[in-house]
Amino acid sequence: MEFRLFGPLEVDDADGNPLDLGTRKQRAVLARLALEPGRVVPLDRLVEELWAGEAPAKATATLQAYVSHLRRVLEPDRRPRTPPQVLLTREPGYLLNVTPGQTDVGRFAAWAADGARLVQRGRPAEAAAVLDRALALWRGEPLAEFPDLASAASARLAELRLAAEEDRLAARLALGEAGVADLEALTEAHPYRERAWGLLVLGLYRAGRQADALAALRRVRALLRDELGIEPGPELRRLERAVFEQSPELDGPATPGAEPGAPAGSQADRPARLVARQSELSTLEGLLAEARRGRGGLVLVTGEAGIGKTSLARAVADLAAARGFRVEWGRCLDGGGAPAFWPWTRAGLIPPSPQAELFDLYDAVLAELRKGPLLAIIEDLHWADASSLKLLGHVAGELAGTSALVVVTLRPEPGDHPEQLRQTLGTLAREGRRLPLEPFGASDVRDYLRLHGVAADPGELLDRSGGNPFYLAELLRLPERERHLVPPGARDVIERRLARLPETTRELLRAAAVAGREVPLDLLAALADRPVEEVMSHLEPALAAGLLVEAAGYRFSHALVRQALDAGLTRLDRARLHLRAGEHLETAAGADPAILAGHFADAATLGGAAKAVTYAARAARQAAARHGYEEAVQLWELALGHLPPGDSPGRCRALTELGQVRRTMGDAEAAHRDLAEAVGQAQRLGDREALAEAISVFGGLSVWNWRPYGTVDEDMVAILEDLLAGDLDDPTRAALLGTLGTELYYGPRRAEGERLALGAIDLARRSGDSMLLARALNNYLIASFVPGRVAERLAAADEMLALPGLSREARLVARVLRMSCLLRAGELEEWRADLARCEQLLHEVGRPELEAMVRVSQTADHALHGRWADAEALAEHFPVIAFGASLWGQEARRLGALYTCRHGQGRVAELVDELVAAGDRPFMSVVRPLAVLACLDVGRTEQARRLVERWGVDLREDWVADFLQPVWGLVAARLGTPDPGEMYERLLPSSGRLVIMGMGSAALGSVDDVLAELAFSLGRTDEAVKHNEAAITLHHRLGLTYWESQARTRHADLTQ
């Protein structure tokens, strides 16, 4: 049912049909109640307002008649002698039992508030969209046909509308979209609103009309002084000073996300020979000043290859060094095979030991950054290894209290790890600033030519270079008569420059190209089979030509130079050089196996495949030990790609270890594919030991069952049962029993699986192996994740945490699972303590699905405490939160959380259609009871009944049953199906618990709330009151004010 109060009063039923509301006075009764949905309007106030102080003698009786007629209109299908559900009698008056979200006025107020918050949080695009939607609801003055009745509400809403108009224009202005005409119209219509004048001044200034902006300020000053006898407020006065001073803070959105830097220093100490980048350099200089004051930060310098990112970084490095900063550089490798944390190691910010724990590495980096003042420059982030990307995301959030500035350069390329890069960039968007570098314009090219003393046509050069400084420089290095021959790509430019070098120099450069952008001198000498002195001599022409620069050895001046050289090699020559590089590097002490694996892989056609496999396996295990799981996956895939085809013990082992790494990462789908192939190979090889090792990986440490909802892999079950029928040692049997217990979870043998998991615990206890026992307890916690097991699961988690020598990863798994029990038990203080411990452990353990579950669990806490905006923000980000972990059911979790929020906000009508549509999709059956309940919430009773007939009622026992069974209970109480008596008995053992979805993605208050409604529907009012009072007590004890107020409202209904 929907109520439209803007303009004339209109009401539509659940199917969208308009209702005939009767006489004008009768309509006025409904209109007055609709202004305060869900709240009691006292009878005497209704009489006073409806008859304007001149009520007839029988006004109360007349009002009661109006109410009776309206009840028949609003609920035409209500059976005789059944209580009304929409227009209720509540002491001391009447209540319209609808949510604010069912009225256009309520939605307008909510969306206007949302838009204002988004403007304040610097999210103008989202704000503009929300505010457009809010203002589109305004069809006319509120209750235009009852002006006296709605005068106070009209004044309040008119003010809210003006604020929303201002917020919308502020958002459009931030996006560079607001026109001066719109701003002038606003000030003309509302001349005393100082904020509107401020927006107009800002709009004029950004349109290049500083004089007009100052004139507008004079107009408003005169208006306020002459008409009201007051001076402009502090905001307008501050704005006036900023316009006079042409303050950078007034600049528009040319560089989104960047804030004005501190005032520039004197030109004498600024780096010379930097064209078209003075504004960016000023910003960086300001950030250096902020860092020196203990307000460090991160800036992302972005742009295409050759745009000048490194030149800008060098310039700010010179500034920093001149101001006493320590300057460190770390460059990401583009040749592939880089060790984990490579740029951080090169910058001297991370210990080189591969045995260091992840949190030690992170702490070491932060300790270095806190030694400031420090400028750390990380170049070519698009080539970074995944572990370095994760570390950067962590560091970005810790810089605010340091004296360190981190400058990162990035091309708009997917890089070697596109998914992790995208995730890290999402973090940097929140924690850092972006400084995009744009191509040169015509004036910039003229400045560049003037600076270098070159006479040339700037227009032609701009056209041919596309404004790219690198291409421009390359063009200018060629003789003038050849510039017209330069094609658009850099490769041809480089090849022409190469052609003028001696042949020996070209050979050395081609050899250097296989080593990556940075080339150690000894490696290059080995590749060329020449003495070091001779190599240095032959490379002098390349240094002079700017193709190389001297570093520890040599470094290509631009990645495109190396890439063009490498592309020019024949396949045979490239393989020979990689083989020679690998053979040279493996003789050196401490050679990195990842780099060796890359070289031998590229030399596979010349016999390097076996060594590629050996070194890739070694490097993969080292990377996994350092939590560099993405590198480990890449290395295992390299090894598999160079193993002989067909079944072999080596391939089976590699697949098992690859599956283990992916399982640890939370990439369940890929892990399943790898492990299924390993299992198949072990079966074909007849290797039962390898088979047991591969299949038991499925039962490794985890907080969730990684099978898609409701599915059981019967093939895996059969293999596990076959293995368990044989002779096994106790540790292997325990591992396989626990794995089988989790495999049976979604099927009809779930209870048997729980018993098998208990058997695994008994075997593990006898073994004395703490990690084996931790694994078995973990298996039980998953196999027993059903209603009625809170105490048992809590005890298992506590036993797991008490084990000696437990790894950080196992402690985190136990804590996360324990938190799900604490939520249900209402032990919120303990839950918060565990949350704090988990936050610490998350920094030490790099597992995406564990972090995802910690974040998801916070949604329930927000919902329980009525923090709807926070809960909704988390819900909408579930897919991002679970990024990197192929967690099943993020959409179902999102919809469950959103239902909780919309229920609390009185906006279920906005979600009901999405829930109904989702319920018809594959693997979304968990949403169906919510869809039915949402239909009932908004008065679509017949649709709810049809949905139950179509979908049926599923009361299976699994991790979501603690949430869905109470939802079905509410449906039963209101619809009569499923059987209310059966649902009451099913839910009664959970009395005293909270209704929680899964690990905590949604919450609906106390189970006793549901039991009260069920008891009342069964005519057992005394029991209903008892459960209701228990719910009130629980909510009050836990400080859940929203849910307590809801329960108290129901108490009034039950005891009237």
Residues 527 and 451 in one domain: no
CA proximity to 578, closest of 551, 605, 559: 605
Mean pLDDT of 54-83: 79
549: containing domain: 498-569
| Average pLDDT of span 1001-1028 | 95
By CB atoms closer than 10 A (0-12, 13-18, 19+), residue 805 is exposed
Amino acid identity of residue 948, one-letter, is V
* In a shared domain, residues 1037 and 976: yes
909 vs 849, more confident = 909
Same-domain check for residues 96 and 167: yes
Question: Picking from 384-393, 418-427, 480-489, 1005-1014, which range would have the lowest pLDDT averaged per residue?
Answer: 480-489
pLDDT band at 481 (very low <50, low <70, confident <90, very high): low
DSSP percent split of the chain into helix, strand, coil, nearest 5: 65, 5, 30
Both 793 and 836 in one domain: the answer is yes
Residue 968 lies in a domain: yes
Name the least confident of 139-153, 381-395, 613-627: 139-153
The values of phi and psi at residue 405, to 5°, are -115, 125
Residues 409 and 391 in one domain: yes
Task: Tell me whether residue 478 is in a domain.
Answer: yes
Q: What is the pLDDT of residue 981?
A: 96
Based on the domain organization, do 458 and 515 belong to the same domain?
Answer: no
How many domains does the chain divide into?
6
Q: Are residues 920 and 788 in the same domain?
A: no
Is residue 809 a contact partner of residue 774, using CB atoms and an 8 Å limit? no
Residue 891 above 90 pLDDT?
A: no
Q: Residue 766 and residue 754: Cα distance in Å, rounded?
A: 19
Q: Is residue 661 in a domain?
A: no
Is residue 654 in some structural domain?
no
- Same domain assignment for residues 7 and 112: yes
Which of 552, 569, 586 finishes a domain?
569
Which among 486, 521, 554 is the end of a domain?
Answer: 486
271 within some domain: no
The answer on pLDDT for 334 being more than 70 is no
Residue 744: pLDDT band with limits 50, 70, 90: very high
Residue 710 · residue 923 · CB < 8 Å: yes
Digit-coded pLDDT (tens) for 708-734: 788 899 999 999 999 999 999 999 999
pTM for the model: 0.57
Q: What is the pLDDT of residue 588?
A: 85
Q: How confident is the model at residue 946 (pLDDT cuts 50, 70, 90)?
A: very high
d(CA 376, CA 344): 9
The whole-angstrom separation of Cα 832 and Cα 1 is 40
* 163 shares a domain with 57: yes
Whose tokens are 């050849």? That residue is 482
For 825, list phi and psi in degrees, rounded to 5: -80, -5
| CATH assignment at residue 407 | 3.40.50.300
> pLDDT confidence of 608, banded at 50, 70, 90?
very high
Is pLDDT above 60 for 452?
Answer: yes
Q: Which residue has the higher pLDDT, 877 or 644?
A: 644
Backbone angles phi, psi at 348, to 5 degrees: 70, 25
Q: Measured between alpha carbons, how far is residue 264 from residues 257, 268, 282, 320, 910 in Å?
A: 20, 11, 6, 13, 51
217 inside domain: no
% of the chain with per-residue pLDDT over 70: 90
Q: Take residue 152 and report the two structure tokens written for it.
A: 């106070």
pLDDT tens profile 102-116? 888 888 888 888 888
- Rg of the Cα atoms in the chain: 35
Residue 71 has pLDDT above 80, yes or no: yes
Q: In this structure, is residue 689 part of a structural domain?
A: no
- Which region among 181-195, 214-228, 264-278, 403-417 has the lowest average model confidence (pLDDT)? 264-278
Cα separation, 666 vs 883, in Å, equals 10
Q: Do 908 and 1029 fall within a single domain?
A: yes
Q: Within this chain, do residues 482 and 505 fall inside the same structural domain, yes or no?
A: no
Say which CATH number the domain at 511 has: 1.10.10.10
Asked, for residue 293, whether it belongs to a domain, the answer is yes
Domain final residue, candidates 524, 539, 569: 569
| Span 468-490, average pLDDT | 58
pLDDT of 1007 = 97
For residues 464 and 432, membership in a common domain is answered with no
Write the CATH number for 787. Answer: 1.25.40.10
Q: Is the pLDDT confidence value at 1011 over 90?
A: yes
User: Does pLDDT of 1040 surpass 60?
Assistant: yes
**Residue 831 has what pLDDT?**
95
pLDDT at 731 (0 to 100) = 94
Got the DSSP string for 239-268? HHHHHHHT-GGG--TTSTT----PPP--GG
Instruction: Calculate mean pLDDT across residues 525-539.
Output: 91
| Count of CB atoms situated within 10 Å of the CB of 135 | 17
Q: Per-residue pLDDT for 934 more than 90?
A: yes
